Structure 1
Amino acid sequence: MKRILIFIGVCSTLAMNGQDTLWILPGTWIQGLDTMPALRSEVQPTWTGFNAVIDRPANTSNSIVIVNTDTIEHTWSTNAPDAAITSLPPEMATEVSLPSLPQGSYHYSLIDEPGKVLGAGGLLRIGWTDETMFYWNLSEWQPSMMELAAAGESIDWTLPYVPRHFTINERAYPSTADDPNALVAVNLNDTCFISISNLGHMNHVLHFHGFHVDIMTSTDHPERVGWNKDTVPIRKGESMTVRLVAFQEGMYPVHNHNLIAVTNAGFYPGGMITTIHVMP
């Protein structure tokens, strides 16, 4: 009970200063016939199964409070340049500094082995204020590995990595159609931006039907900024922003170009598929 009171006191004080809070929550995540232990970074102390997005202004240092409700210590960081690494003691609240960053898409995550395998991480969007925005948090999941991580056992990364589930924003198709952040719904001639981050353990390639997108920012490949592509590779750990101009009406799929990544436990269609819906 004493530690819970510490949560409330710290978070309430910081909230009055205009700062936000993330809650690291353990829970159970169900995909198809698989029930898996998982960790999520949530905006409230109630499990939903979805990781939060952090929005911050560009070129401004600030902070965020992270409450680790788990029973073990975790380690938190971002993929921003020269990112600091912060230890999160169990059942405690910690204020974490966020550096001044230029406009772009980044991500935050737990980087200790249980944290990264169990999936507590999301988008860090910097400097997007007036734009029409969507986001895709890409990941994949191997239930047997997640069970080992939850039990505190070490992962043998030399073994074949064979995920059963592939997700956008912790949802697999067709559930991606129910996510207003994954389903790109815009009007004809609108311009929108999509923040994409690969928080999984393998590289991915996204293919856009009907459109080419402009690469606006990339944490790993700044030389690709300005490219206009219908097929966009995104390495594990990479974040990027793409711009889409909706010049034609209709429904157009976006999907991973790896066949196994568009399945749910081996069944097609599923996984990393979403849609661009351009309305008159």
Structure 2
Amino acid sequence: MPDRGGDRTMERMADQTTPQDPTTQHPDPDTQSAEQIAHPGHTDDMDQQPDHGEESYRGSGRLEGRRALITGGDSGIGRAVAIAFAREGADVAISYLPEEEDDARETLAWVEKAGRRGLALPGDIRDEELARSLPGRVVEAFGGLDVLVNNAAYQMAQSGGLADITTEQLDRVLKTNVYAMFWITQAALPHLDKGASIINTSSIQAFHPSPPLLDYASTKAAIYNFSKGLAQQLAADGIRVNAVCPGPIWTPLIPATMNAEKVEQFGADTPLGRAGQPAELAPAYVFLASQESSYVTGDRIMVTGGRS
């Protein structure tokens, strides 16, 4: 459950008001545990816990009264976005795999601590019927849907490259990362009014694919292309569509899908010399969900530690 230590929270929040050295603001790869964990990965299993903004993100009402659905909202980037959205005034629904229930409950506890409604939507979004049901369930619970964040993703690194990517793995990657995005977005469109925002999590992998992640990188390129194309389709309806493209971000997915050597050096090749934290991505999603980005559609925000 959330740490309610008020003094430590205020101390971390105060730190956010003064400039910090971005190369040392968060741990570098040498302090990360290279120990692998079982997929899909749970936050509590990580020796080096990610920062989701639990003690640092401060809202200012930028999403007051809005209703959001975040896929893959139980941990990592999804948790950071859920916390930020709630503190900005939004009600938040999260979808997640049933085996990630503990992480999901932790995320929802932070949403509710912010004084907003939270909604748990467990299930595997590779199931088309379940995926298509999610927007309607949010509308039923919250009375509407204003922000859709397609964030859920699956990856599994293969050191042998293309030859080691099985049909089973390819099917899982495509259905989780691309098919579900199509299904959920299609089902959401009838519920979205003018001013709504769709935000899709792409990746630097869309532009600079890593050989061990060829299938995953291909889906991230598809997500970026989907975002640009859909933005053109929906512009006349007053619905904006954008993408966030993270670089190496420290989440449970990393030690759950990469070998120990890769984990140990994760993020070291960025100009800032470290992996990013989920909390460092959340403001990009808040901006794209808010009215402040009213003239931004079909675009991307890169959060990559300096990798171009």
Higher helix share: 2
| TM-score using structure 2 length | 0.30
Whose relative contact order is higher, 1 or 2, with alpha carbons under 8 Å and at least 6 apart?
2
> Normalized against structure 1, the TM-score is what?
0.32
Q: Which has the higher strand share?
A: 1
